[in-house]
Amino acid sequence: MAAKVLDGASVARAIKDEVAREVAEYSKRGLRPGLAAVLVGNDPASQIYVSSKVKTCAELGLYSEKIEMAETASTDEVLSLVRDLNSRDDIDGILVQLPLPRQVASAVILDSVDPAKDVDGFHPVNVGRLAIGEPGLRPCTPAGIIEMLDRYAIEIEGSRAVILGRSRIVGLPMSLLLLHRHATVTICHSRTPDIASVAREADILIAAIGRMALVDGSFIKPGAVVIDVGTNRVTEARDLDRLFGDDQKRRAAFAKNGYTLVGDVNPREAAEVAGYLTPVPGGVGPLTIAMLMKNTLAAMKMRRGV
């Protein structure tokens, strides 16, 4: 039996609808959440991401500003901008789009964001609050995954969860969120021996390791929930055949664009073993922007005590 699809796009729509209704109610009271998106340089992917976030703000009724800085901007110049945004009462959330140009000290910039406005959940204060289970702003992708598991009524408490990847953006915060929900959590990484045998113990397997289709059927316990956080381009015909077989939709996309997308999970093999599986695209990706909107609303409520 093929794995059931966890439709992140539909979950994201539900989250955004809930945010829009709440924003409308607060706006009637003169309380409109505001997000500032800072874009430094000309990275095409970053341009798309930031434009998408600003567009979503408009759709849901949030106030937003897209602030662009030159590719040559210095750490001090970006720092000055962030400090100005920290002091503005109409801005509840500050997002500094990564990656920053090489000459800009990313850690310094991220650490300069007011933790109360850190809607990415990357500031050490918010990481610390997450670690000890205190309320705070959570990283968007891991928080979105928890929302999806809950909305599909997938049991977290008492489950065995394995996370492939230990990044500060996904792997580490994901492990803490699952731990606080009473899962037994293992993190695997590049130094983990026989990673497939560890992964096979998982009731919930989260792949965020950044390697195209690494997770094949040998990694997956029959019936497991498999969450694919990866995004990789398939540019070779032999990989298209291996990963998608005669999937005509994928073949049409490949023929048109010269590539198609796949995650860190082999979709053909996973579909035959897993109980639930997120697609790429349309799985975890849409949740990230939805949770950014939810975090901006939450930041406004926390800052204003409402």
Give the pLDDT confidence score for residue 2 in this predicted structure: 87
Q: What CATH superfamily classification does 30-114 receive?
A: Leucine Dehydrogenase, chain A, domain 1 (3.40.50.10860)
Same fold, 30-114 and 140-285: yes
Please list the active-site residues.
53, 97, 120
What is the tens place of the pLDDT at every residue in 4-52? Answer: 999 999 999 999 999 999 999 999 999 999 999 999 999 999 999 999 9
Give me the residues of the chain with pLDDT under 70, please: 1
Q: What CATH superfamily classification does 140-285 receive?
A: NAD(P)-binding Rossmann-like Domain (3.40.50.720)
What is the tens place of the pLDDT at every residue in 53-66? Answer: 999 999 999 999 99
Domain ranges of the chain: 30-114, 140-285
Give the pLDDT confidence score for residue 68 in this predicted structure: 97
Q: d(Cα 217, Cα 205) in Å, to the nearest integer?
A: 12
Here the contacts of 259-263 (C-beta below 8 Å, separation 24 or greater) are 259/233, 259/234, 259/235, 260/233, 260/234, 261/231, 261/232, 261/233, 261/234, 262/212, 262/213, 262/230, 262/232, 262/233, 262/234, 263/207, 263/213, 263/228, 263/229, 263/230, 263/231, 263/232
Give the pLDDT confidence score for residue 281 in this predicted structure: 94
